Chain A
Amino acid sequence: QKEVEQDPGPLSVPEGAIVSLNCTYSNSAFQYFMWYRQYSRKGPELLMYTYSSGNKEDGRFTAQVDKSSKYISLFIRDSQPSDSATYLCAMSTTYGNNRLAFGKGNQVVVIP
């Protein structure tokens, strides 16, 4: 079983729709959970990070962590064409001081 599972299937949504992405993981020692956004031909950039279980909101983005189910989610409300990118989940046992375990990423296309 891979440490982090993220269904890599592409996702196409109309502008204004809610985008829902998720990852599951197997290592219960993970404490820090991150979502990265990667535009074409660019490196990943940190979108949000969450410590332990709970929700975190930043504008149109909401990250959720359910450690009991080993499941994390990212929601994008009122999606915009500029949200078209690949979204990668990542997690670690410590923050910034250890290697990251990544999901494979979801390519999201928001259609105007």
Chain B
Amino acid sequence: DVKVTQSSRYLVKRTGEKVFLECVQDMDHENMFWYRQDPGLGLRLIYFSYDVKMKEKGDIPEGYSVSREKKERFSLILESASTNQTSMYLCASSSPLRGYTFGSGTRLTVV
């Protein structure tokens, strides 16, 4: 089975901190995605990547950046964390053959 591993299940960070959320997939998928999930708003796409060193903005990229230096790893960076970035962050990877697989999520609280 495809595994998408997010490095932390729960994180608490202070306002203004730089935050790194890491995601690793083990099935050589080309595509990787970062979503955030909030009650009443559903899943919203932050950034995605179709290949190494490539990135595309999703629907809500403001305040975030990403890095994909290796095919299996896609990092989400909060340059200066703010309280409105408190959320559940979900990473996913996909391929035409296997569809989409999600990680277990990182629940980030910014205080």
Could you say which of A34, A44, A94, A102 has the most chain B C-beta atoms within 10 Å of its C-beta?
A: A44
* Closest-CB distance, A19 to chain B (whole angstroms): 19
List residues of chain A with CB under 8 Å of any chain B CB.
Answer: 6, 8, 34, 36, 41-46, 49, 88, 90, 94-97, 99-100, 102-105
* Chain B 90-111 per-residue mask, 1 if CB under 8 angstroms from chain A, else 0: 1010111111111111010000
A-B contact count (CB 8 A): 58
**Are the CB atoms of B96 and A96 closer together than 8 Å?**
yes
User: Chain B residues with Cβ under 8 A from A49's Cβ?
Assistant: 99
Do A42 and B104 contact each other (CB < 8 Å), given the known contacts A99-B33, A103-B42, A104-B41?
yes
Could you say which of B4, B33, B105 has the most chain A C-beta atoms within 10 Å of its C-beta?
A: B105
CA gap between A90 and B43 in the complex, in Å: 10
* Closest-CB distance, B68 to chain A (whole angstroms): 16
Tell me if A's interface is mostly helix, strand, loop or mixed.
loop
**Are the CB atoms of A97 and B31 closer together than 8 Å?**
yes
- Say which size band chain B's interface belongs to: 20 to 34
CA gap between A36 and B92 in the complex, in Å: 13
User: Chain A residues with Cβ under 8 A from B105's Cβ?
Assistant: 41-43
Q: Which of A6, A41, A95 contacts B99 (CB 8 A)?
A: A95
CA gap between A44 and B31 in the complex, in Å: 17
**Are the CB atoms of A96 and B99 closer together than 8 Å?**
yes
CA gap between A90 and B98 in the complex, in Å: 16
Indicate whether B45 reaches chain A with its CB closer than 8 angstroms. Answer: yes
